[in-house]
Amino acid sequence: MSSPVQWSREGAIAVVRIDNPPVNALGQSVRAGLLAAFNAAEQDPQVKLVLLYCAGRTFIAGADIREFGKPAQAPILPDVTRSLESFNKPSLAVLHGSVLGGGLEVALACHYRIIQHTAKVGLPEVKLGLLPGAGGTQRLPRLVGVAQALEMIVGAEPISAVEAKRSGIVDELYDGEPLAAGLAYAAQLLAQGVQPRRSGQARVPAAVGTSNAELLMAKRAEVQRGQPGLFSPLRCIAAIEAATTLPLIDGLQRERALFLECLESPQRAALIYKFFAERQAAKAVDLDASVTVGNRLVEEGVSVAQVDAALREFGMAMGPFAMLDMPGLKLDAVVREPSLAVQVESDPQRLWQRPIYALINEGARILEEGIALRASDIDVISLTGYGFPAHRGGPMFLADQIGLPAVLQQIREFHQKHGEHWKPAPLLERLVAEGKTFAEQDQQG
């Protein structure tokens, strides 16, 4: 099987071509092929510049999703980008399509960059509970400054080609085919006698009207206020901070340590699960159990504010009563019956368990009745339609993480204490008896 990375020589220009459809993802064969091609070009005395471009509809669009959750295979991407940046001959990355994640990190490791007018660039790793781990947190701030690096890495939103040019990520915009545009620009660079220009050797520019330290502090406060409990955004900020205080080699080591922390986080597992669940979601199902149980909690004497606060602490942007118009809730009945407040659970964890475990129990019933095809479908609708926190993965994923025996035991306690509406779902009982999880149930179809 031939490598997805090939190279040829056009005069003094080594043309390195990646062809790994559909999106030229950075699988192991691409990473190894990049190193081999650049090393071969470096050894060729006739080569004066290396041009990197991709076939198909896009430049490298990120990691290979087939490698998610598997042990890393050498060469790992941080080693590849370090090698590309230290290459002794000037290199040019010709960008088009969606230049995302590791694709942008590879481009930043090249010495010069041009981009097609219609392209976009971005570092969306935080959406998967990670941070850019191949130099993105160290090289990008050196090019664009802390403020924009925070927006792109913590905010995770891509920017246009025009904005990439304005901010200094790329050198020029182009129209037409990547190879033709790349060869024309490479000829200009050779005529100018350019040398390697390494992003990692630049200094992070000073902030305008404030300081980089103040920008970092403000972003931390914003994340802690708006995304409490999220793990990777704060690690992204810490990595960007390292770029402002450490030389590149030390900053890369700090980035790697923070990346590995994210990799081990349960939130990363939940967000990766969400990514795949959304890709295969079949149909929406109706889940109103959290609001129903929220009503029951209030009728038992827990305040609306307590229920909403407990679920916000759990990670929801807002509790069920803040999100909905409280259909059918008889608040006046609570006022008239102060005795309902006797022996009410007030511990925040116990409060969030009631609505969330109700979702789990109801989800198991929906699965058994065939209303939903997979547990992951229930998780997707909970995440996208009911405000379930993404870093928790969804109620069924969370149940597997907690352990179905522990979930069933708690539901049985609620059943004994709070009545028949807490009767455990037969599927949940059967899975516990068989020692299986919802994920294993999904795999069996």
Name the catalytic one among 85, 105, 241, 362. Answer: 105
Peptide bond connecting 426 to the previous residue in cis, omega within 30 degrees of 0: no
Per the annotation, the verdict on 420 as an active-site residue is: no
Structure tokens at 43: 């050894």
Asked if 91 and 196 touch (Cβ cutoff 8 Å), the reply is: yes
Please tell me whether residue 276 adopts helix, strand or coil conformation: helix
Name the catalytic one among 10, 85, 125, 337. Answer: 125
Query: What are the φ and ψ backbone dihedral angles of 5, each rounded to 5 degrees?
Result: -120, 120
Asked if 48 and 13 touch (Cβ cutoff 8 Å), the reply is: yes
**Of 144, 140, 98, nearest to 121 (Cα)?**
98
Q: In angstroms, rounded to a whole number, what is the distance separating the alpha carbons of residues 322 and 387? A: 11
What residues contact residue 285 under an 8 Å CB cut-off, 6+ apart? 366, 371, 372, 377, 378, 381
The residue assigned the tokens 């999703």 is 65
Asked if 160 and 116 touch (Cβ cutoff 8 Å), the reply is: no
**Of 10, 79, 21, nearest to 50 (Cα)?**
10
Asked if 89 and 50 touch (Cβ cutoff 8 Å), the reply is: yes
Sheet holding 49-54, edge to edge: 5-10, 13-18, 49-54, 91-95, 112-116, 172-174
Q: Indicate the residue type of 122.
A: G
Query: What are the φ and ψ backbone dihedral angles of 99, each rounded to 5 degrees?
Result: -95, 90
Residue 176 region, left (φ>0) first, then alpha (ψ -120 to 50), else beta?
A: left
Query: What are the φ and ψ backbone dihedral angles of 89, each rounded to 5 degrees?
Result: -115, 150
Tens of each residue's pLDDT in the chain, 445 residues: 689 999 999 999 999 999 999 999 999 999 999 999 999 999 999 999 999 999 999 999 998 877 877 788 999 999 999 999 999 999 999 999 999 999 999 999 999 999 999 999 999 999 999 999 999 999 999 999 999 999 999 999 899 999 999 999 999 999 999 999 999 999 999 999 999 999 999 999 999 999 999 999 999 999 988 877 889 999 999 999 999 999 999 999 999 999 999 999 888 888 887 787 777 765 444 444 444 434 443 344 344 444 445 445 555 554 444 444 433 333 333 333 333 333 344 555 556 677 788 888 888 888 888 877 888 888 887 787 667 788 888 888 888 888 898 988 888 988 888 788 788 898 888 888 989 888 888 887 6
DSSP 373-434: S-HHHHHHHHHHHS---GGG--HHHHHHHH-HHHHHHHHHHHHHHH-GGGPPPHHHHHHHHH
The residue assigned the tokens 């928790």 is 392
Domain boundaries, the chain: 5-201, 283-442
The helix (H) or strand (E) run that includes residue 6 is strand 5-10
Asked if 7 and 19 touch (Cβ cutoff 8 Å), the reply is: no
pLDDT at 299: 42
Per the annotation, the verdict on 299 as an active-site residue is: no
Question: How far does CA 280 lie from the centroid of its chain?
Answer: 18
**Which is it for strands 159-160 and 98-100: parallel, antiparallel or unpaired?**
unpaired
Question: What CATH number has the domain spanning 5-201?
Answer: 3.90.226.10
Structure tokens at 51: 């041009």
Asked if 123 and 100 touch (Cβ cutoff 8 Å), the reply is: yes
Q: In angstroms, rounded to a whole number, what is the distance separating the alpha carbons of residues 294 and 287? A: 13
Sheet holding 120-122, edge to edge: 98-100, 120-122, 159-160
Could you please state the CATH topology (level 3) that the domain comprising 283-442 is classified under: N-(1-d-carboxylethyl)-l-norvaline Dehydrogenase; domain 2 (1.10.1040)
